[in-house]
Amino acid sequence: MARNKYDIDETLQSEFNFDQLKRLYSYIKPHRKEMYFTILLMIISSALGMFTPIILKTIIDNYIPNENIRGIVIISLILMLLNLIIVVILRLKIHITTNLGQSIIHQIRSDIFNHLQELPFSYYDDRPHGKIQVRVVNYVNSLSDLLSNGIINTITDLFSLIFIVIFMLSINIRLTLVCLLGLPILMAVIFFIKTKQRVAWQISSNKSSNLNAYIAESINGIRVTQSFVREEENIKIFNSLSGKYSDAWMKAVKYNFLLWPAIDNISMITTAAIYILGVSWIAGGAKGITVGVLIAFTGYIGRFWAPVNTLASFYNSLLTAVSYLERIFETIDEPVLVKDKESAVEMPPIKGTVEFKDVVFSYEEGLPILNGISFTAHQGESFAIVGPTGAGKTTIINLISRFYNLDSGQILIDGIDINDVTIKSLRKQMGVMLQDSFIFSGTIMDNIRYGNMEATDEQVKEAAKTVCAHDFIMGLEKGYDTEVNERGSRLSAGQRQLISFARALLADPKILILDEATSSIDTETEILLQEGLLRLLKGRTSFIIAHRLSTIKNSNCILYVDNGKILEMGNHEELMEMEGYYHKLFVSQYDFLNKVPENQDLCQQGAF
């Protein structure tokens, strides 16, 4: 998949093969009883429908010449009954196939979404999220008609075709052979367009993916767009991508539309040939051909080409679906690089000692972000990590939670290699607050409780009070029951961070990871928050990343990281005495704490 680009077409890692159709069948297999029942119903319906031309032939050749009014009435009633049965069967078929198709679609979508939950951060780092989303929604939806109607209709129409040919042969063999002469021509047309059609739909899905990727990016960045007055430029880009998708789609459907005219033309030619030959044979007194036979046979001709048309439509749908199946299964087959070993065990209750042993890590091969990182954080100690942007600070804490695999080295917690335990049991005992304070749509209460789904309302409120969030929450229209939008657009950046902070606290972890936890909180609120932090960090091993150095002065150890290495390590006083990198960084920052009056109840004043 294209790396973080909306204007680069996706490339498949593997070519399509018919094993993928077998995989599609694996989703259909659990519903085979419903499919068999529906197919049986459709075969019965198709078989009943075959009697209509025979009945017409009997009326024309026997009842009308003999003026048998009673026979015409009886046989007409029989015909009405047959049509009523067919209507009931079709109604039942629509109900079953609709439910069947949606059940299969749900399972495919569920599998791809479940797999996305397991994929590591690296998968999402490298891909436009819109291109991931289009696979879960649009591509799966595109299979709906194929699974709801296409497969069952195709199977039943195959049986219908067999019934029709049998009835046609029973009426007249010569006329049947004339009708079948059109099939080789149709097969030649299908063979000619099949490769071009698949490629065309692949290109169309590429352009659709690009368009969706840009739409998702534009929505996420709408504030920046309007702030920098980029609306017109974005519209130009959108129109360009939309135009390319429109062109690709038109080229793809062009091949689809080639089949229907071909079938219609072949049907018309063979029908005309049968009329010409049939009339000439009747006029010549040919044995076995009457007006009733010719009318019955022409009735079957229409019925013969109808299932052929359906089969051609299914073929079109299948080729279209192939281009989507390739990408759906490619996503499901995406390897889960960060996963449990077969021998992985549950992580025992964590005490909190964390050790890095010569850790080497890179996002891209040959470009190490961390190069030989080694340190030990003992139980209950707070470790701060500072350094310039891009030094590898966030990478260090991401590795503790095992969001990525190491290139080499070890990370031990309480002497246990984190590669030897299950990921779930490891992460459940950690509290993580990342730079992106993500707020889910729902209530404030639900967002904080995300850290511990079993927490009571009182525990949620206590966590909010600890991080100085309670007062601003109570100031909202419904307090903790206030609904917030996705990403918390109704809240300020500082408020979102405080909620995320309460969420991490509520998890009551033995290892706490705070990545720029106070970056969006003003200095005054931060002072009060320090008291909550001291209570929060007590008895826990913590790792704190902060550009605002005033928040980490009390840490047991401070690591100064740059160029993937630890250049300095010690507490605040030790590093200041060294007058090295940390000293230079610290003195360059203005000390806001000295400017704030003591004992001021800033949380009550709503200083954020």
Looking at the structure, do residues 244 and 393 belong to the same domain, yes or no?
Answer: no
Looking at the structure, do residues 437 and 469 belong to the same domain, yes or no?
Answer: yes
Is there a domain that residue 14 lies in?
A: no
Least confident interval from 82-86, 185-189, 249-253, 334-338: 185-189
Judge whether 86 and 305 are in contact, CB under 8 Å. Answer: no
Note the pLDDT of residue 592: 42
Note the pLDDT of residue 5: 66
Percent residues over pLDDT 70 in the chain: 87
State which of 137-141, 143-147, 165-169, 554-558 shows the largest mean pLDDT. 554-558
Which spans in 286-356 are helix H? 291-332
Is there a domain that residue 142 lies in?
A: yes
Looking at the structure, do residues 304 and 396 belong to the same domain, yes or no?
Answer: no
Is there a domain that residue 7 lies in?
A: no
Q: Which residues contact 267 (CB under 8 A, 6 or more apart)?
A: 182, 301, 302, 305
CA dist 587 → 544, 583, 584, 591 (Å):
20, 6, 6, 9
Is there a domain that residue 36 lies in?
A: yes
Cα–Cα distance between 362 and 409 in angstroms, integer? Answer: 12
Looking at the structure, do residues 437 and 538 belong to the same domain, yes or no?
Answer: no
State which of 191-205, 532-546, 553-567 shows the largest mean pLDDT. 553-567
Q: Mean pLDDT over residues 165-181, rounded?
A: 82
Q: Mean pLDDT over residues 383-387, rounded?
A: 91
Looking at the structure, do residues 318 and 364 belong to the same domain, yes or no?
Answer: no
Is there a domain that residue 10 lies in?
A: no
Of the candidates 252, 8, 271, 291, the one whose C-alpha atom is nearest the C-alpha of residue 128 is 8
User: Residue 210 pLDDT more than 50?
Assistant: yes
Looking at the structure, do residues 409 and 324 belong to the same domain, yes or no?
Answer: no
Looking at the structure, do residues 458 and 474 belong to the same domain, yes or no?
Answer: yes
Band (pLDDT 50/70/90 cuts) for residue 6 is: low
Q: List the CATH number of the domain containing 500.
A: 3.40.50.300
**Domain endpoint, select from 481, 508, 535:** 508
Q: Which two tokens stand for residue 206?
A: 């590429």
**Residue predicted with more confidence, 569 or 229:** 569
Q: Mean pLDDT over residues 569-598, rounded?
A: 76
User: Residue 540 pLDDT more than 50?
Assistant: yes
Q: Mean pLDDT over residues 465-470, rounded?
A: 83
Looking at the structure, do residues 273 and 174 belong to the same domain, yes or no?
Answer: yes
**Domain endpoint, select from 479, 508, 537:** 508
Q: Mean pLDDT over residues 169-185, rounded?
A: 81
User: Residue 554 pLDDT more than 70?
Assistant: yes
pLDDT in tens, 89-110: 888 888 888 888 888 888 998 9
Note the pLDDT of residue 9: 66
Mean of the per-residue pLDDT values of the chain: 80
Q: List the CATH number of the domain containing 185.
A: 1.20.1560.10
Provide DSSP, 498-534. Answer: HHHHHHHHHT--SEEEEESTTTTS-HHHHHHHHHHHH
Is there a domain that residue 368 lies in?
A: yes
User: Residue 421 pLDDT more than 90?
Assistant: yes
Note the pLDDT of residue 2: 43
Looking at the structure, do residues 354 and 328 belong to the same domain, yes or no?
Answer: no
Is there a domain that residue 61 lies in?
A: yes
CA angle (152, 159, 86) in 5-degree steps: 70
Q: Mean pLDDT over residues 231-260, rounded?
A: 85
User: Residue 544 pLDDT more than 70?
Assistant: yes
User: Residue 230 pLDDT more than 50?
Assistant: yes
Note the pLDDT of residue 525: 60
Looking at the structure, do residues 104 and 153 belong to the same domain, yes or no?
Answer: yes
- Verdict on whether the full-model pTM lies above 0.85: no
CA angle (558, 564, 568) in 5-degree steps: 30
**Domain endpoint, select from 508, 538, 573:** 508
User: Residue 72 pLDDT more than 90?
Assistant: no
User: Residue 598 pLDDT more than 60?
Assistant: no
Looking at the structure, do residues 91 and 179 belong to the same domain, yes or no?
Answer: yes
Note the pLDDT of residue 591: 47
Q: Mean pLDDT over residues 367-371, rounded?
A: 87
Note the pLDDT of residue 12: 56
Residue 153 domain boundaries: 19-332
pLDDT in tens, 107-153: 998 999 999 888 888 888 777 778 888 888 888 877 876 776 677 77
User: Residue 593 pLDDT more than 50?
Assistant: no
Note the pLDDT of residue 379: 92
Note the pLDDT of residue 607: 37
Band (pLDDT 50/70/90 cuts) for residue 605 is: very low
User: Residue 15 pLDDT more than 60?
Assistant: no
Least confident interval from 72-81, 250-259, 462-471: 250-259
Burial class (CB in 10 A: 0-12, 13-18, 19+), 206: buried
Which spans in 15-150 are helix H? 19-28, 32-49, 51-58, 69-118, 121-125, 129-134, 140-141, 144-145
Note the pLDDT of residue 566: 93
Judge whether 46 and 160 are in contact, CB under 8 Å. Answer: yes
Give the type of residue at 206.
N
What is the number of structural domains in the chain?
Answer: 3
Note the pLDDT of residue 486: 64
Cα–Cα distance between 547 and 561 in angstroms, integer? Answer: 12
Strands (E), 348-429: 354-364, 367-377, 382-386, 408-413, 416-417
Looking at the structure, do residues 549 and 575 belong to the same domain, yes or no?
Answer: yes
Is there a domain that residue 12 lies in?
A: no
User: Residue 329 pLDDT more than 60?
Assistant: yes
User: Residue 434 pLDDT more than 50?
Assistant: yes
Judge whether 549 and 386 are in contact, CB under 8 Å. Answer: yes
